[in-house]
């Protein structure tokens, strides 16, 4: 199966998972999980949440992300990847003054 993000419409998700600002995403979702190409504008974030039934892999395409992961913080630049296994919690923040672009895979387990 080919997922062509170039042909998908963007969805604006305000205060996603309790975060600030909007997450802007193109998503493929089915019963096995979610694959998305997303953006966070400067000052925006995805709220802190726990992965009860799935894990999440986030690859940073451009920009810089700060993650609150369980009880610590991690910074990931373009070309880096953040992994949140099932049973763990995280949030993602864009504290920079440039757009953060990322690719995420959330498989149901």
Which domain does 102 fall in, by range? 15-107
CATH number, domain of 59, equals: 2.60.120.10
Neighbours of 69 (CB within 10 A): 17
Question: Is residue 86 one of the residues assigned to a domain?
Answer: yes
Residue 30's contacts (CB-CB under 8 Å, 6 or more residues apart) are none
In terms of Cα–Cα distance, which of 69, 55, 63, 75 is closest to 102?
63
Q: Which pLDDT score, from 0 to 100, does residue 105 have? A: 98
Q: Which pLDDT score, from 0 to 100, does residue 80 have? A: 98
Structure tokens at 100: 């953060």
pLDDT band for position 71 (cuts 50, 70, 90)? confident
Query: What is the average pLDDT value for the chain, to the nearest integer?
Result: 97
User: Is residue 109 scored above 90 in pLDDT?
Assistant: no
Measured CA to CA, the distance from residue 17 to residue 30 in angstroms comes to 20
User: Is residue 14 scored above 90 in pLDDT?
Assistant: yes
Q: Which pLDDT score, from 0 to 100, does residue 28 have? A: 97
Question: Is residue 59 one of the residues assigned to a domain?
Answer: yes
Question: Is residue 26 one of the residues assigned to a domain?
Answer: yes
Residue 35's contacts (CB-CB under 8 Å, 6 or more residues apart) are 3, 27, 28, 29, 104, 105, 106
Q: Which pLDDT score, from 0 to 100, does residue 40 have? A: 98
């Amino acid at each position: 199966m080919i997922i062509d993000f170039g042909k998908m419409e963007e969805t604006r998700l305000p205060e996603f998972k309790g975060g600030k600002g909007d997450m802007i995403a193109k998503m493929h979702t089915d019963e096995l999980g979610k694959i998305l190409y997303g953006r966070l504008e400067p000052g925006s974030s995805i709220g802190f949440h726990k992965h009860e039934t799935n894990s999440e892999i986030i690859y940073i395409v451009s920009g810089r992300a700060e993650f609150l992961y369980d009880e610590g913080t991690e910074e990931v630049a373009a070309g880096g990847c953040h992994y949140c296994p099932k049973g763990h919690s995280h949030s993602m923040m864009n504290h920079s003054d440039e757009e953060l672009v990322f690719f995420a895979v959330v498989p149901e387990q």
